[in-house]
Structure 1
Amino acid sequence: MIYSKTYSINCPLTLTTLSPVHGLPSLAQCISMSGSAFVCSLQCTALPQCKVVYSHGCNSDGSCACSYCNALTDVAFEDNHVQFFLHTTEIGTNTNEVSFPNGLVAGQPLLMKIYIAGTKIILNFISTVGHSAFHTEIRFYESSVVSNSYIGYTWGPENRYTPNFNFYQGQELSVLCVVTSAGYKLYFDNVLFKDFGHRWPINDISKIRISNTGSGVAKFLSFSA
């Protein structure tokens, strides 16, 4: 794991396949190197399994200590002076469902921009047999966020969270879901709302769907993985 506050943002990465994120990452399966951030980013983008580029300790000549990593495990968004880059590919635009033929993997970041409409918004990770492996609802009628999943062939115990509820109709919500070996970490607009332990094998998840009740249509404005 890499966890360091010695960082300079004077090493911009300009490749369009990399998405900038402000926050301090916790990483795994990393290869470290010395050199420019650009070279480090090339190393990552050449490897499909590489998910994160993290440059730190950059000098005025552009040389940096740099790591490219196959797994993101957490983000401390309160350390917003730090910047790292996610290597993701857009797999859905203006849709309510995206597919994962090979399932999910631990360390995988999922970036979503969600359009909110209706009285209840449902984010559903669906297994190959059609069961909910991770199911989260934003409930406007009770100002709460509720998560659950199937365990075998029945629903498990419900996990309810009543945050400082500041969602609103027509909102474009930025969502980061970090898939770890232990569970899902779900961030709404850089705030951790859910840390939900796995109850279903992640390699058996075949699709992620968003739906709603009430008027309007909830959808993924964009989805990258």
Structure 2
Amino acid sequence: LICAFVLAVVISGNVVAQRASASTLTKVPSGVCPPYQLKDEQGNVINPVSGTNAGVPYSPKQTCGAAGCHNYDKITEGFHFTQGAGEKVTANQKSRILWATTPGNFGGNWCSPAPLYRYLSPKKNDSPATMDMTAYTFISACGSCHPGGGSAEYDREGHRYDKWISDTSSGFAEGADNRLDGDYYQAKWKRSGVLEADCLICHLPGYNYTARNKQIANLNYRWAATAGSNLATVTGSIKDGNEP
């Protein structure tokens, strides 16, 4: 359940449009977004005033990356978002950190204290006994240091996690062993959603990291941006079997 705050109403553009004069709307300072509407993952407008889609989380990709606005796909190609996904380890890492598969946080060395080093499981595995973090549990363990997008949104073959696990042609099922795939083993992507790039982490003064991290820990990935931006209060936990 999501309870929308007044901020969500203001950003939705309806109240702003009614109260601001035409001259104000046409004189937007350089680098500042004009009034805009929040949108969900399907691109549908969220309007708390009318109650339209008021109980769903907003999508940074559909909202900030809407046509004519920011180039979401291009932006999330940066290392800040991929965190090494798709890149080869450096020669130094290859000799020192044998478990590293990328030069970044996603598949690289970890911040956990010795001797409890964590590692990202390869895409293909022969036994669950040799597996540690998957792409799914990487987010719950390390998502507080990941802005979303990139490796938190797309698997190692370029599929968006929640869309691909829902596609029957993938051969995967929610929560199943899924051929010991390092991106889908026992994952609940369909229910948790993905962690889209959260623009407001850097672009909203007073961003609520504590609220965001709580949603990530609860496996409520698609709700993290909404909570962190203080647009709503999110209740429920995928981790505990309660749909938000």
- TM-score scaled to structure 1, two decimals? 0.27
- Higher RCO (C-alpha under 8 Å, 6+ residues apart): 1
Structure number having the greater strand percentage: 1
